[in-house]
């Protein structure tokens, strides 16, 4: 934190007093005592959008001079910090740079444990940031809650077109009790700072406890140092308790060779520091203890390394016919002083002037400007301007291949030149949903020194995730230097100016003068991009949440009632349609077509029936919207299943499971032997009794079996008969069991053919 706790408490008190004076609305919550540790410092932080280079990571880096700013006019702008684990929080603070002028911002505070479902902890309010009254710091008490993700959602800012945060701080009791430490390495240094081959190098690591509790006193806070994957030294002498939020520098004091130093070898090396490498300390995160950096060791012979880092012209924006002089910025990035010698300047590959021979040595790390002695007469068009240092090789360098630099320069026919840039992108609708037709507009500024030519199209192409979707090509007015214009898409590759929105986060790019109709002083700054989130359109999502049956222990022959509970877990109402019930993959029942919309979160029940005919386990399914009459956000979760176990009826239960006959192709009048396989699927043994066989409804044979068939067993019973009919027939088998308490008849059929 940039201020100590005492000062922060004073700022909070001043902010509360100022709140009363300004009638600013704050959420009324019970009095809380915020923990001294900023739980958000250095944690992962994201935003739904940002402008220019004011990214989300600026908002919890501990520096109020850097800040995050949401994309212009794309409210809500959201800023979300991941605390790493679920923490108990009761207060947040939002800081702006202390030097900024007063302004108001409207935002709400939301929390989540899974980064999916967010709850409003503090409703939207308008807060005043005032450098005099509250040092541009707003503190908001939050009803004590447990959260891993804390989000600010901005909807207005009187001082800018998007939300702004220099520091987003979260306070609370953390994980409870004394908390748990979390050690990370934030930097590595070496002594000497720029070692050469053969130097004895001692490494040090800066270690931060970013957890919620201190390390135990008396326990070593150790650190191992590796070079290119090999351990070279370690630090194991620090046993002081490291408080949450505090840092310490650990210096190597020993190593596997008995020395705390590494003998430097020439080349580029990866240096790794591994805090608590032997796991002496229990941490909330055991997977973030390593940090690495690169170290280059010179061979020992120091040499200069001269290069050109930039070229400027005078005048800055020359017109055709102007006398142009050139100046190069020369830097020595080597390890020893060296003279730049002569610098040459060329246009489109032809040398046009040189500098005087500079024999004064340029110190290592220093820069200087060197100008050509002559001028070049400018011609219209775009040219490549190049500068090369030490063209006569009077200075020996460590790298002789990096002495040249080039840039482009566009010369107009007269006067200044335009320079078109995109300063903003908007969409209509501003917050599109999936399926919306979206029209993009771009704000174009001419930041050059000349107007665009009248009658020439100032065009703009719009891309979504790298694919062109539309363009604007109707504006032919001259755009004066310093002026702006808004270009709205009027056509596209599909024949439409609109893009059909799809769910997710997208990169929207606007490219002014994409086909180079206009000569500009800078042709490399015509693109601008923003992020645009598209939420899914509300849709129903019908699911079967339970499938039950009665009776709960059915026996063969029972009529089983199947009951399905249907729920709409989507975001829009939808009709359940037909609910189908299937047993072992075969549909056995279906409801009528329910066309009444089921409200979001609503439930209804549907029933069907099935006659339990076969003993054993059966897979039963219920499928809502079986005919797909309702479009849903998820079409793959309409079915639920359960297993029904059917047991036999008490007593004897005979069934015929098959019929055979021989010969396979009987002749007229020949004797045919019929066989029936009889199964007892009941629970008591019994004899099948008389089994009759019939052909085309006429009995032709019978057999009486007195053999007992055990429960679950089968018996083959045969009978013979001379059959006289000369055509193909359907043979029917009938059997009956006389004089038994339970009497049942079953008929099975099979085709019987003659040659």
The reply to whether 39 and 76 lie within a common domain is yes
The reply to whether 494 and 558 lie within a common domain is no
The reply to whether 34 and 157 lie within a common domain is yes
Domain that residue 491 falls in: 420-534
* Contacts of residue 222, Cβ cutoff 8 Å, sequence gap at least 6: 234, 235, 236, 238, 250, 275, 276, 277, 278, 280
What is residue 516's predicted lDDT score, i.e. its pLDDT?
A: 93
Neighbours of 296 (CB within 10 A): 10
The reply to whether 506 and 641 lie within a common domain is no
Whose CA is closest to 61, among 167, 137, 152, 205? 167
What is residue 301's predicted lDDT score, i.e. its pLDDT?
A: 64
pTM comes to: 0.33
What is residue 26's predicted lDDT score, i.e. its pLDDT?
A: 34
* Contacts of residue 26, Cβ cutoff 8 Å, sequence gap at least 6: 19, 125, 127, 140, 141
Q: Which of 392, 411, 430 is the endpoint of a domain?
A: 411
Q: Which residues pair with 406 in a beta bridge?
A: 386
Which pLDDT tens digit goes with each residue over 734-753? 433 332 223 233 444 444 44
The reply to whether 547 and 636 lie within a common domain is yes
Whose CA is closest to 564, among 539, 538, 544, 578? 544
Positions of the chain with pLDDT lower than 50, given as ranges:
1-35, 176-177, 726-755
Contact between 417 and 450 (Cβ < 8 Å): yes
Q: 74: which 2 tokens?
A: 């794309």
CA 631 to chain centre: 26
Residue position matching structure tokens 């995730």: 465
Q: Which of 534, 566, 596 is the endpoint of a domain?
A: 534
The reply to whether 486 and 585 lie within a common domain is no
b/e string for 327-364 if b means 16 or more Cβ within 10 A?
Answer: bbbbbbbbbbbbbbbbbbbbbeeeebbbbeebeeebeb
Q: 184: which 2 tokens?
A: 């990370």
Which pLDDT tens digit goes with each residue over 666-676? 887 788 899 99
The reply to whether 670 and 718 lie within a common domain is yes
What is residue 360's predicted lDDT score, i.e. its pLDDT?
A: 93
Q: 73: which 2 tokens?
A: 């006019």
Radius of gyration of the chain (CA): 42
Q: Which of 646, 677, 695 is the endpoint of a domain?
A: 646
User: Domain count of the chain?
Assistant: 6
What is residue 87's predicted lDDT score, i.e. its pLDDT?
A: 83
The reply to whether 635 and 705 lie within a common domain is no
The reply to whether 642 and 693 lie within a common domain is no
The three-class DSSP label of residue 179 is coil
CATH number of the domain where residue 747 is located: 2.60.40.10
Residue position matching structure tokens 């540790």: 37
First-to-last C-alpha distance (Å) of the chain: 101
The reply to whether 563 and 677 lie within a common domain is no
The reply to whether 98 and 214 lie within a common domain is no
b/e string for 50-65 if b means 16 or more Cβ within 10 A?
Answer: bbeebbbebbbbeebe
The reply to whether 39 and 144 lie within a common domain is yes
Whose CA is closest to 91, among 172, 157, 12? 172
* Contacts of residue 636, Cβ cutoff 8 Å, sequence gap at least 6: none
């Amino acid at each position: 934190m940039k201020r100590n706790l005492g000062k922060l408490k004073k700022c909070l008190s001043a902010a509360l007093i100022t709140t009363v004076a300004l009638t600013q609305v704050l959420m009324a919550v019970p009095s809380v005592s915020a923990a001294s540790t900023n739980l958000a410092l250095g944690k992962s932080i994201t935003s739904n959008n940002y402008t220019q280079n004011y990214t989300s990571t600026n908002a919890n880096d501990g520096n109020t001079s850097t800040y995050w700013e949401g994309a212009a006019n794309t409210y809500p702008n959201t800023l979300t910090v991941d605390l790493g684990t679920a923490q108990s929080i009761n207060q947040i603070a939002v800081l702006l740079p202390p030097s900024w002028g007063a302004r108001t911002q409207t935002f709400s505070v939301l929390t989540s444990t899974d980064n999916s479902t967010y709850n409003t902890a503090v409703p939207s309010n308008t807060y005043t940031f005032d450098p005099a009254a509250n040092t541009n710091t707003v503190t908001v008490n939050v009803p004590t809650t447990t959260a891993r993700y804390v989000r600010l959602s901005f909807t207005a800012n009187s001082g800018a077109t998007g939300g702004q945060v220099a520091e987003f701080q979260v306070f609370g009791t953390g994980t409870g009790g004394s908390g748990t430490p979390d050690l990370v390495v934030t930097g590595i240094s070496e002594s000497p700072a720029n070692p050469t081959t053969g130097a004895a190098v001692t490494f040090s690591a800066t270690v931060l406890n970013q957890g919620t509790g201190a390390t135990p006193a008396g326990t070593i806070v150790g650190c191992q140092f590796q070079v290119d994957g090999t351990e070279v030294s370690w630090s194991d002498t620090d046993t002081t308790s490291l408080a949450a939020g505090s840092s310490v520098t650990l210096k190597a004091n020993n190593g596997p060779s008995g020395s705390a130093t590494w003998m430097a070898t020439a080349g580029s090396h990866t240096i790794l520091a591994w805090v608590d490498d032997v796991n002496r300390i229990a941490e909330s995160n055991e997977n973030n203890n390593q940090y690495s950096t690169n170290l280059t060791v010179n061979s020992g012979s120091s040499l200069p390394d001269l290069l050109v880092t930039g070229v400027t012209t005078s005048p800055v924006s020359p017109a055709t016919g102007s006398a142009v002089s050139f100046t190069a910025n020369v830097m020595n990035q080597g390890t020893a002083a060296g003279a730049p010698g002569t610098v040459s300047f060329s246009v489109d590959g032809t040398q046009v002037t040189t500098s005087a021979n500079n024999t004064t040595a340029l110190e290592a790390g220093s820069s200087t400007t060197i100008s050509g002695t002559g001028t070049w007469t400018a011609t219209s068009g775009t040219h490549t301007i190049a500068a090369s240092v030490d063209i006569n090789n009077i200075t020996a360098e460590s790298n002789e291949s990096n002495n040249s630099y080039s840039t482009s320069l566009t010369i107009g026919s007269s006067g200044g030149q335009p320079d078109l840039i995109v300063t903003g992108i908007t969409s209509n609708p501003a917050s599109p949903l999936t399926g919306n037709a979206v029209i993009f507009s771009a704000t174009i500024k001419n930041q050059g020194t000349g107007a665009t030519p009248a009658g020439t199209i100032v065009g703009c192409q719009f891309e979504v995730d790298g694919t062109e979707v539309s363009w604007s090509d109707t504006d032919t007015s001259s755009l004066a230097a310093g002026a702006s214009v808004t270009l709205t898409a009027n056509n596209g590759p599909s024949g439409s100016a609109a893009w059909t929105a799809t769910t997710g986060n997208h990169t929207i790019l606007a490219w002014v003068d994409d086909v180079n109709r206009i000569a500009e002083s800078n042709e490399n700054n015509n693109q601008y991009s923003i992020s645009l989130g598209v939420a899914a359109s509300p849709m129903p999502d019908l699911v079967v949440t339970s499938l039950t049956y009665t009776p709960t222990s059915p026996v063969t022959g029972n009529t089983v009632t199947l009951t399905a509970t249907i729920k709409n877990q989507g975001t829009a109402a939808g009709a359940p349609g037909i609910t189908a019930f299937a047993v072992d993959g075969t549909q056995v029942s279906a409801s009528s077509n329910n066309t009444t919309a089921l409200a979001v979160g609503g439930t209804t029940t549907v029933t069907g029936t099935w006659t339990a005919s076969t003993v054993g386990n059966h897979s039963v399914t219920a499928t809502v919207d079986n005919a797909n009459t309702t479009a849903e956000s998820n079409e793959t979760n309409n079915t639920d299943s359960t297993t029904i176990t059917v047991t036999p009826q008490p007593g004897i239960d005979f069934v015929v499971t098959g019929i055979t006959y021989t010969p396979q192709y009987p002749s007229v009048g020949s004797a045919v032997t019929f066989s029936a396989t009889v199964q007892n699927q009941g629970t008591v043994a019994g004899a099948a009794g008389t089994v009759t066989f019939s052909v085309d409804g006429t009995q032709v044979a019978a057999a009486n079996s007195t053999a007992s068939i055990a429960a679950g067993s089968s018996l083959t019973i045969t009978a013979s008969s001379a059959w006289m009919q000369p055509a193909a027939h359907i043979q029917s088998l009938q059997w009956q069991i006389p004089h038994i308490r339970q009497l049942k008849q079953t008929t099975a059929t099979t085709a019987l053919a003659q040659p």
